[in-house]
Amino acid sequence: MIHKNRQISKQFCILIFIILIYCLVGCSPQKKKLSQFEEDHGIIVGFSQIGAESAWRTCNTRSVQDAAAERGVQLVYDNAEQKQENQIKALRSFIAYQVDVIVFVPIVTDGWDNVLQEARDAGIPVLVTDRKIDVADPSLYAGFIGTDSLKEGRNAGLFVVSKFENAREHSAETDDYINIVELFGTEGSSVANGRAEGFREVLKDHPQYRIIYSKSGDFLRSKGYELAVEFLDMYEDIDVIYSHNDGMTLGVIEAMEERGLRPGKDIVIVTIDAQQAAIDALREGKVNCVIECNPKTGPEIIKLAERLAAGESIPRVQYVHEEVFYETDDLSLIAPRGY
């Protein structure tokens, strides 16, 4: 009897031991799930996008999602709805989830040091895309891929100067100021800062060009419209509208036409992005110059993420190919834009 009891308690102990082991292994379900996924499907990338404020942005998101799907990369996607605090939360959740790589579009340049330090402590490499950041320790992120906004701003300035220098050669009135209105993108964003800086860099050698109005329309069509209603009321003599994106430009065109003004003729318009609607406006003569900002960065982003996940280093800065479309070009040659 005693022998039998001993055997039962021994079996009971073994059972408890097995349950314990099972519990211990099962206590890290996340890790197990991730490594299983990696074996089956490849890497996991956390992607924090800033929102869906423009056709450009929607195309950019799609480009990353399509490229990830094509490469068998699992994308954990988050839309921050234009709020930096949402982006920081998303980055923290990617860290908790132990993704292999974090990719993010920083809405503004500042305020990333702490969360990037957390990513580093967790051993997760970070790729910054589209907009740049300013951190005390630049090694907190592996690299940047995206647009060269300073160059976009310079191209806008060069177009304006060449447009008016040509006109002046054929006109007696050479002392007049060229009055410029600027629709600024999101304040504190690297792209808006670069576009403003590059533009001013060109104009500084041409004192007759002056910016009489500059306000942020946050890259939104609705705000572009609102600002146009305001500045068209304030100023009678506007020569140029320089808009940091096509969305705001489309709002301006609408406001001008409501007043019986002819965009592209009564006022010269330079815009950035090159979405289909802006190219159509260029063809109709409502816009004079369109500077491309290329949103189709998904394939390159995913390639770089794969390299980072493999422990390789990547280029510190990688700019994407971008063009400029002028009113004088053969516009029939421009292929459909896809955004």
Applying CB under 6 A, the residues found at the interface with ligand AHR are 53-54, 56-57, 130-131, 191, 219, 245, 247, 272-273, 293
Output the smallest distance, CB 275 to ligand AHR, in A: 8
Q: Residue 36's CB: how many other CB atoms inside 10 A?
A: 10
Calpha distance 175→177 (Å, rounded): 7
Q: Closer to ligand AHR at the Cβ: 64 or 191?
A: 191
Calpha distance 52→49 (Å, rounded): 8
Q: Closer to ligand AHR at the Cβ: 57 or 223?
A: 57
Terminal C-alpha separation, the chain: 82
Q: Closer to ligand AHR at the Cβ: 227 or 272?
A: 272
Calpha distance 215→249 (Å, rounded): 13
Output the smallest distance, CB 208 to ligand AHR, in A: 28
Phi and psi for 288 in degrees, rounded to 5?
-105, -25
Output the smallest distance, CB 186 to ligand AHR, in A: 7
Output the smallest distance, CB 311 to ligand AHR, in A: 29
Q: Closer to ligand AHR at the Cβ: 100 or 273?
A: 273
Q: Which two tokens stand for residue 138?
A: 């630049």
Q: Closer to ligand AHR at the Cβ: 57 or 163?
A: 57
Output the smallest distance, CB 153 to ligand AHR, in A: 12
Output the smallest distance, CB 263 to ligand AHR, in A: 19
Pairing, β 178-184 against β 324-326: unpaired
Q: Closer to ligand AHR at the Cβ: 100 or 246?
A: 246
Calpha distance 332→330 (Å, rounded): 6
